[in-house]
Structure 1
Amino acid sequence: MAAAAGSNSYHVLQYAYVPDILEKRGPHREQHLAGASKMADANKLVMAGALTDPVDGAIFIFRNVSKDDIEQFVQADPYVKAGLVPNYTIRPYMVVAGDCS
């Protein structure tokens, strides 16, 4: 079911990881996951996870969060601070099917 006009807005944050992310993420992983969990617990992050085969990036789907708030999330992320995310994009996302609650 598509969201009614004006009800929910979504953004996709996509990370590109450094090639050796699996070897380098260890010291930063717990805090990285805690930041995502905090956003999910606040009902701002719908889902997030790594792209696999190969592990070369991640996708986060935010609901009813401004682009500026997502930018603040990115700048506070331990993976970004450690240089493990050399590139990222934030884009509006229009949901047309699925769970839009």
Structure 2
Amino acid sequence: MPKYVLWGSYCEDVLEKRAAYRQAHLDGLAKQKEDGVLITIGPTKDITKVFGIYEAENEAIVRQLIESDPYWQNQIWTDYEIKEWIQAI
């Protein structure tokens, strides 16, 4: 099954702005992980970017997961890019 890399950006003052949506965000990610579609995800240390790896039948599924996330819907994530990834090792 294809793998996809997510790179996205966080809003300014992310630590304060995310608080109201954090638990719903984490619950959704846990469900994606349990379902086997999310391999890993997390912020860069400076909390300006988010990086994730998904395994899904197509890119549209990954986009739907990202765009239904509370962080996207509430502008905590401000933009994102997805690339199909070829795992060499």
TM-score between the two structures when normalised by the length of structure 2: 0.92
2:53 aligned residue: 61
Q: What is the count of residue pairs matched by the alignment?
A: 89
Specify the alignment match of 2:42 in structure 1.
49
Q: Which runs of 5+ in 2 are unaligned?
A: none
Offset at 1:65? Answer: 3.6
Equivalent residue for 2:9? 16
RMSD: 1.1
Distance 1:65 1:31, change over 3 A: farther
The answer to whether the 8 Å contact 2:56/2:62 transfers is no
Q: Does the 8 A contact of 2:10 with 2:76 survive in 1?
A: yes
Structure exhibiting the larger radius of gyration computed from Cα positions: 1
Q: Which residue of 1 aligns with 2:26?
A: 33
> SS in structure 1 opposite 2:20?
helix
CA contact (8 A) 1:50 1:57 kept: yes
**Post-superposition offset of 1:94:** 1.1
Q: Hey, what does 1:3 align to over in structure 2? A: none
